[in-house]
Amino acid sequence: MSAAVSDAWRPVRRLLAEPLGALGIALVLLVIGGAVLADWLSVYEPSRISPRDRFQGPSWTHLLGTDQLGRDLFSRVLHGGRIALSVALFSTAASLAIGVVLGLIAGYGPRWLDNLMLLLFDSIKSFPTVMLALALVTLFGPSLTAVVVVVVLVNVPGYARIIRTQTLALKESEFVTAAQSMGAGTARVLRVHIMPNVIGPLLILASMDIPVVIAIEAGMSFLGLGVRPPTPSWGAILNDGFTAIRDTPWIVIAGGLPIILTTLGFTFLGETLRDVFDPRLKGRG
Amino acid sequence: MLGYTLKRLGLAVVIVSLAMAILFVMIYLIPGDPAAVALGPRATEAMRESLRVKMGLDQPVWVQFWNFFTRAWTGDLGNEVLSDRPVAQVVMEQLPHTLALIAGGMVWSVALGIPLGCWAAVKRGSWADRVVGIVSVAVIAVPSFVVAIYALLIFAVTLRWLPAIGAGDAGDLGDRLTHLILPSLAVGLGWVGYIARMVRASMLEVLEAQHIRTARAFGLPETMITYRYALTIAILPTVTLLGVGIGQMLSSAVFAEIVFARPGVGKLVYDAILTRNYPLVTGAVLVTTVLFVLINLLADLLIGALDPRVRSRF
C-alpha cells in the first residue's frame, strides 16, 4: 500500500526537485486557485458598474484599482482566470480528441488518404496564426466560439502529425500483427494496442501548448475579437486599459500580469515535465 | 536537389490554391449581401443590383469561384469597398512597413540571442548558464502583445525615452528607426529565447569537435577559439531556424502594429474587419499567406541545400 502511494507521488517529487518545475507548479496552482475561488475571494461583482468609483488607483478597497466603468479589477482578474483556464482546457481537449482521431486515420488508413490529410494539415499550418484568427472572426463574428475554433485549427495539425508518425511506426510492429492475426478488428487494434502507446508524448506537448492557447484567447479578446463584454477576460481588461494607458496605467498592469504569470507558470511546468519524462521531445518539429 | 525543389514548389502552389479556395468559401459564407454592405443603407435597389453585376455576384457560384481564383493568381484581388482602389495596391503600400518591423525583430533576436547563447555555452553549468536558460524560456512564453503593451507603458509613456505611436516621418531615417525600436523589440523578444537556446546547444556540440581541440592544443587564445572557430560554425543551424521565425514574427507584427498604431498589413486587416471591408480582409490575408508560404519555401530549400537528409525525407 505505502509502496503504491510513494509510486504515485514519485513524478510529482521529481518535478518539485527541479527549481523551475516547483516554480511552475506554484504559479499554476496560484492561477487555478484564484479562478476556482474567484467568487469567494472577490468582494465585488466582476461586472458591477459603479460610475462613482471609476479610474481609481490601487488601494486597500480596490487591490488592483478600478476601470473606466468603476468595476473592481481584482475581481475581474480572478474571474478572467476562469475564462482563460476553461477556454484552455476545453479547446485543448477538443484539439486532442480531433487530433488523435485524424492522426490514427492518417497513420492506419490507406496511403492516398494519408497524403490528402497531410496536405490539409500543411495548408492549415501555412496560414499565419493571427491571420487565421482574423479571417475566422470575419466569418463567425467575435465570440468565444471563434477563439475555440482558432485554437483547434492551430493545434490539430501538429497533434495529428505526431499521432500519425507514431501510428505508422507501430503499424508494422509484431504485437500489432499478432493482434490482427488473432482476429482483432481495426477499431480494437487502434484503441487497445496503438492508442496507449502514442498518447503519452502527446499529453506532454499539449501541456506545453496551454500557454499558447491562453495567449490566443487573451490576444483575440484584446483586439475585441474574442470574449464579448461585459464578460471579464484578461485580454478584455488590457483592451479597456489600453485607451487610457497614459493616465491610468494600473488597468493594463492588472490585465497583463496574470497573462505573464500564467504563461510563465505553464511553460516552466511543461518544460520540466518534458525534460523529466520525455527528453526525446526536445526540439520537436 | 532538383526533384526536391520541384516537389516543394508544387506543395507551395497547392497550399496557396487551397488558401484561396478557403478564403473564397469564407467570403461566400459571410451573411449579408456584399453589395449592400459596400453601398450602405441609403442605396437604392437599382444601385445595389448594378454593383452586384459589376462584382459578378449575379453569376453561379462556381463561375464566381473560377473568376476569383484565376484573377487572384494574376495578382488581381479586386477593388476595396471604401475608396474603390485595387486591393493589391493598397496591401503593397502597407507591406514595406510590416517587413521593416520583421527585419527589426530579427535584428533584436539575433543581436541578443547569439551572444546570450554563446555565453551560456562557454559558461556551461554555471549560474550564468542557468539564468540565460530561464530567461530564454520566459521570453518565449510571454505573448508578444503583452510585451508590446508593457514596453509602450515603460519606455514610451513612463520614461518617455522613445516615441509611442506611428512609424515616423517618411523622409527622416533616424525618426523611422527610433519609431521602430520598441515595436520590433516586441516582435523579436520571443525569438531571442529560441536563438539563445539553439546557439547554446550547437555551441556545446561544436566545442567538443576535433578542430577545437586541435586549436587548444596549439595554444590559441580561448576567446579566439570561441568566437572565430566555434561560433562561426555553431551559428549555421540558426539560419534555418530564422525561416520559421520570420513566419511567426508576422503574427506578432500584427499586434505590434495595432499597439503602436503603426501602418502595416496587420493594422490594415484589423481596420478592414472593423469597417467590414471584406475584399480588403481577404486580399491582405491572402498576400500575407503567400508571403508566409514563400518564406517557408525558401527556408526549406535552404535547409535542403545544407542538409541532404531533409531532401530524402520528402
Question: Would you state the pLDDT for residue A279?
Answer: 60
Q: CA B254 to CA B228: how far, in whole Å?
A: 38
pLDDT tens-place string over residues A21-57: 889 899 999 999 888 887 887 777 787 777 777 777 7
Q: Nearest 5°: phi and psi at A66?
A: -130, 165
Q: For chain A, say whether B157 makes contact (Cβ under 8 Å).
A: yes
Chain A partners of B158 at a C-beta cutoff of 8 Å? 249
Q: What is the pLDDT of residue A285?
A: 33
Distance between A277 CA and the closest CA of chain B, angstroms? 18
Q: What is the pLDDT of residue A284?
A: 44
* Cα dist from B187 to A4, A138, B103, B145, whole Å: 48, 25, 10, 8
Q: Which of A78, A73, A50, A56 lies closest to A248, judged by CA?
A: A56
How is residue A14 written as a grid cell? 521529481
CA B71 from centre of chain: 25
A-chain residue closest to B10, CA distance: A119
**Residue A1: Cβ within 10 Å count:** 5
Under 8 Å between Cβ of B67 and B46: no
Chain A nearest C-alpha distance from B173 (Å): 27
pLDDT over 70, % of chain A: 94
- Write out residues 27-56 of B within 8 Å (CB-CB) of A: 29-30
pLDDT at A69 over 60: yes
pLDDT mean over A228-241: 86
- pLDDT of A3 strictly over 60: no
Interchain proximity B278–A138, CB inside 8 Å:
yes
Per-residue pLDDT tens listing for chain B (314 residues): 778 788 888 888 888 888 888 778 877 777 666 677 667 777 777 877 777 777 777 777 788 888 878 887 877 777 777 777 888 888 888 899 999 999 999 999 999 999 999 899 888 888 888 899 889 988 988 999 999 999 988 888 888 888 877 777 777 778 888 888 899 999 999 899 999 998 998 888 888 888 888 888 888 888 888 887 888 777 877 776 777 778 788 888 989 999 998 999 988 988 888 887 778 888 888 888 888 888 888 877 877 777 666 666 55
Chain A stretch 219-248, residues whose beta carbon is closer than 8 A to a beta carbon of chain B: 219, 222-223, 225, 238, 242, 245-246
Question: Residue B26's closest CA among A196, A131, A239?
Answer: A131
Phi and psi, residue B123, nearest 5°: -95, 30
Q: Domain coordinates of chain B in residue numbers?
A: 11-76, 96-274
Phi-psi region of B3 (alpha: psi -120 to 50; beta: other; left: phi over 0): alpha
Q: Which CATH number fits domain B96-274: 3.20.20.10, 3.40.50.1370, 1.10.3720.10, 3.40.50.720?
A: 1.10.3720.10
Residues 6+ apart with CB under 8 A from A79: A35, A38, A42, A46, A232
Which residue pairs, CB below 8 angstroms and at least 24 apart, start in B1-6?
A: B1/B304, B1/B305, B1/B311, B3/B311, B4/B301, B4/B304, B4/B311, B4/B314, B5/B301, B5/B304
Chain B residues close to A122, C-beta within 8 Å = 11, 15
Spell out which residues of chain A touch residue B26, defining contact as CB-CB under 8 Å: 135-136, 138-139
DSSP annotation of B43: -
Q: In the predicted model, what is the mean pLDDT of chain A?
A: 83
| Residue A1 pLDDT > 50 | no
Question: Which pLDDT belongs to residue B37?
Answer: 67
Mean local confidence (pLDDT), A15-25: 84
Q: Which chain A residues are Cβ-neighbours of B143 within 8 angstroms?
A: 215, 218-219, 259, 263
The pLDDT tens digits of the residues spanning A242-270 come to 888 888 888 888 888 999 999 999 999 88
Searching chain B, which residue's CA lies closest to the CA of residue A136?
B26
Per-residue pLDDT of A114-166, as tens digits, reads 888 888 887 777 777 787 788 788 777 788 888 899 899 989 998 998 888 88
Q: How many residues does chain B have?
A: 314
User: What CA–CA distances, in Å, run from A49 to A73, A76, A77?
Assistant: 11, 12, 15
A contact residues 5-24, partner B, Cβ 8 Å cutoff: 20
Chain B residue nearest residue A256, CA to CA: B146
Count, in order, helices (H) and strands (E) of chain A: 12, 0
Query: Is some CB atom of chain B closer than 8 A to the CB atom of A279?
Result: no
* A54: its cell numbers: 471609476
Among B266, B268, B257, residue whose Cα is nearest residue B152: B257
Q: Count of residues for chain A?
A: 285
Domain A17-281: which CATH class?
mainly alpha
CA distance A150 to A155: 9
Asked whether the CA dihedral A58, A265, B149, B281 is positive or negative, the reply is: negative
**Does A140 reach chain B within 8 Å, measured CB to CB?**
no
> Do A131 and B251 lie within an 8 Å CB cutoff?
yes
Task: Answer whether A219 sits within 8 Å of B255, measured CB to CB.
Answer: yes
The grid coordinates of residue A274 equal: 518534458
Q: Up-side HSE of residue A64: CA atoms within 13 Å toward CB? A: 24
